[in-house]
Structure 1
Amino acid sequence: MAGHGFRPVYHPAGHDHALRNAVQDLRTGRWVSMARLLDETSDWEAWTRRTQVLAAVAAGSDVVPIWRAEQPESLAATVMHSRVAVERAVRAHRAGHTRTRELWQEALTACREASDRSPADPVPWIGLIALAVLDGRQRMAEHRLTPPAPMLPPGPWGLLAEVEKRDPHNREAHHRMLQFVYARQSGPLSEAVNYSHWAASSAPVGSALHALPLYVRVERYRRERGHERALDLHWVAEDAVRDAQRALDTWFLFCATDEASLLDLNHLAHALFGALRFADAARVFEALGPYYTTLPWAYRTAHPDDRALAEEVFLRARARCLSG
């Protein structure tokens, strides 16, 4: 797929064609495909990933309330209600919306209801971790618990423990925790670095958590406006190369790439490209197939909100790596 004229595709479902169909129906206001898909989803990894994607699409509509009204006993509908409530609250917080507190309370209630009705499900607890970011001053006791290891900050560790009981090494839970750590500070990223390596250190081979340190390195690059430097050595530093190699060796080579997060694959391709490991990066680009995500490529441009610029950077990197 290195030929001329290749144009990458962004779709939140990625290689998950069943999810793609449900998203398409959801965008037209129909919930039956979503309900059927979730009914057929049998493992927590896929359940977490699919409900997250569906909630991001459903948050701007009333499809989930309609589903709940028609199937009030559906556990999936209850969980999706909590997902949508969390998504709306987090979006409102980012936008500084006046209804943030109201939406936050609604989301807390929805997550508690979902956890009561579906006690084995990790998703309601993931939602509570996501909402912890809104408690910027950590006024809630559950958001300032003592960490499980030195060099880690106080935080919603009890909520993470609840997820771990249900789905150990859950990818989204740890990414939500990382967002919480980011929100604690605007300066050095030492806490985030420590957290990402702590999470990865206990993860089994094949776990996407081995890619977590790559996100922190991208965040550091973004904050330091690395793209403005005439000589950019950020990606070839010894620790950067080591993180990229470790993610390749302990995650990518052992994971089912057609089920992997597109963001994770893009972060790994980006890290290997930056580390000048072009042959290794080529394997990741091949695994991506026709898909890509704008991040982290957008942070190598002067205008991160410009999707066209991000696509150009992706295409240049991809072409270089696949050229042999």
Structure 2
Amino acid sequence: MRGGGASSGRGEFRPVYHPAGHDAELRVALEEVGTGRWMAIRDLLARTGTQWPLRTSRSQVLAAAAARSGVVQAWLVEEPGSVDAQVMRARVAVERALHAGRAGHGSTDALAREAREASVIAADLAQADPVPWVCLLALAQLDRGLRRVEHRVRPTEPMLPLGPWRLLDQVNARDPCSREAYHRVLQFLHAQAVGSQAVALDFARWVGSWAPPGTALSVLPLYAYAENYRSQRARGAEDRLMRRQWAQEPIALDVQRALNGWFRHPVPVARSVLDLNYLAHALWASHQFTDAAEVFTALGSYAARLPWAYVTDDPGRPDLAEAEFVRARGQALAATGGAARAGPHR
């Protein structure tokens, strides 16, 4: 993560990268996790209570930080009867398994088994909580051969492939339209060997077509389109039409759904920095600079490296992604004749 202000000594805008984004309480807890203290995790989850979307997002970010240490295990030693500690144990185990899977490490299968066992225990202890089921859903992407029966369930929607649909049903029964759950399904579809891009696009478009107003599911298609663009470039199949995809149907319709059905929804909702970045990118790429400026303003000083890295010459270089973000932001704000105020950085 990178903290700091929104500008350098010379006055130019410098974005802030932090996994907590605008969530000040989460930022404090992450600082405590970094020093090996678990009480802040316990207290934050207790305050979050049954706000399931917030609990899901906070527990994911906390687990990503805690996976690098033994802080959750220390919590379990001190409070072995804590249900929240068991849920976080599952979260951390899943993070470690997914990290091993991305690295192609030989320990992936063993870590996935451990994570699955921890998630089942947590689901039994916290039966109303969607998070353990989100954990099980996240592990599905590691099963590329569909060896597990729960990952090859026939869907009720005819256009969808075999997949972990009953796991998704379990999440929806507890937290309908869970942002992370549908992203985990998208990751599962991308991980499959045959027809993954087309199937993932179909799934994301389908979700976007019925996503209830105000939910972050309206942004899901933008992730699928950006990943498709990244994949095409990686294979050397990019062309000029691909660059103009954001202004063409059906993508343009999905961009407007995300803008009007989610970002401009009259009921205030928590908006993740990553979702805002994907929407800002889509609006900027389709030359809707006034609308993009509105989203950049909502971001304040915060940024994410994706999807900006996908349009650089080297997606592995964070500095190029940052330069692309700053360029797009400046172009959008210049089109409106204004400048975004930096958001609160606590």
TM-score bracket, shorter-length normalisation = over 0.9
Distance 1:283 1:169, change over 3 A: same
Alignment partner of 1:26 out of 33, 41, 62 = 33
Q: How does 1:25-174 map to 2 (within 5 A)?
A: 25-42=32-49, 43-174=51-182
Partner of 1:260: 271
TM-score by length of 1: 0.96
Q: Is the 8 A contact 2:19 2:61 kept in 1?
A: yes
How far is the alpha carbon of 1:235 from its aligned partner?
2.4
Q: 2:339 matched to which residue of 1?
A: none
RMSD of equivalent CA atoms: 1.9
1:78 shift after superposition: 0.6
What TM-score, normalized by structure 2, do the two folds share?
Answer: 0.90
Cα pair distance change 1:89/1:255, threshold 3 Å: farther
Q: Percent identity?
A: 50
**Letter of the 2:54 counterpart:** A
Among residues 295, 301, 308, which one is paired with 1:290 in the alignment?
A: 301
Greater CA drift, 184-193 or 120-129: 184-193
* Distance across 1 between alignment mates of 2:152 and 2:121: 23
Report whether the alignment pairs 1:182 with 2:190: yes
Is the 8 Å Cα contact of residues 294 and 310 (structure 1) preserved in structure 2?
yes
* 1:58-106 CA-partner distances (Å, limit 9, x unpaired): 1110000000110111111110000000000111111111111111110
Residue 304 and residue 258 in structure 1: after superposition, are their counterparts in 2 closer, same or farther (change >3 A)? farther
Instruction: Using the TM superposition, give the Cα deviation of residue 194 of structure 1 relative to its aligned residue in structure 2, in angstroms.
Output: 1.6
Quick one: which amino acid aligns to residue 5 of structure 1? E
Aligned residues between the structures: 324
Q: Deviations over 1:5-33 (max 9, x none)?
A: 11100100000000000001101111111
Q: State the alpha-carbon separation in 2 of the partners of residues 184 and 151 from structure 1.
A: 16
CA contact (8 A) 1:196 1:212 kept: yes
**Separation in 2, partners of 1:319, 1:46:** 31
- The answer to whether residue 248 in structure 2 is matched with residue 237 in structure 1 is yes
Structure 2: which 5+ runs fail to align? 1-5, 337-346
What is the alpha-carbon distance in structure 2 between the residues aligned to residue 114 and residue 255 of structure 1?
Answer: 36
Aligned 8 A contact 2:129 2:174 in 1: yes
- Distance in 2, matches of 1:306 and 1:131, equals 28
1:248-280 per-residue CA deviation (whole Å, 9 max, x = no partner) reads 010111177772111110000000001111000
Aligned-partner Cα distance in 2 for 1:254–1:295: 24
The one-letter code matched in structure 2 to 1:72 is: P
Structure 1 runs of 4+ with >3 Å offset: 1-4, 185-188, 226-231, 255-258
Q: Cα offset for 1:245?
A: 1.0
Match of 2:341 in 1: none
Q: Secondary structure at the match of 1:111?
A: helix
Distance 1:256 1:78, change over 3 A: farther
For residues 37 and 250 of structure 1, the distance between their equivalents in structure 2, rounded to whole angstroms, comes to: 30
TM-aligned CA deviation for residue 204 of structure 1 = 1.3
- Supply the distance in 2 between the matched residues of 1:235 and 1:4 (Cα, whole angstroms): 32
1:234: how far off?
2.6
Contact preservation (8 Å) 2:144, 2:193:
no
Does the 8 Å contact 2:208/2:218 carry over to 1? Answer: yes
Does residue 272 (structure 1) correspond to residue 280 (structure 2)? The answer is no
Match of 1:208 among 210, 216, 221: 216
2:262 aligns to what?
Answer: 251
Counterpart of 2:227 (choices 210, 219, 225) is 219
In 2, the alpha carbon distance for the partners of 1:142 and 1:59 equals 26
Q: Secondary structure of the equivalent of 2:154?
A: coil
Are the equivalent residues in 2 in contact too, given 1:78–1:114 (CA < 8 A)? Answer: yes
Shift of 1:156: 0.6
- In structure 2, the CA distance between the partners of 1:207 and 1:255, relative to structure 1 (3 Å rule), is farther
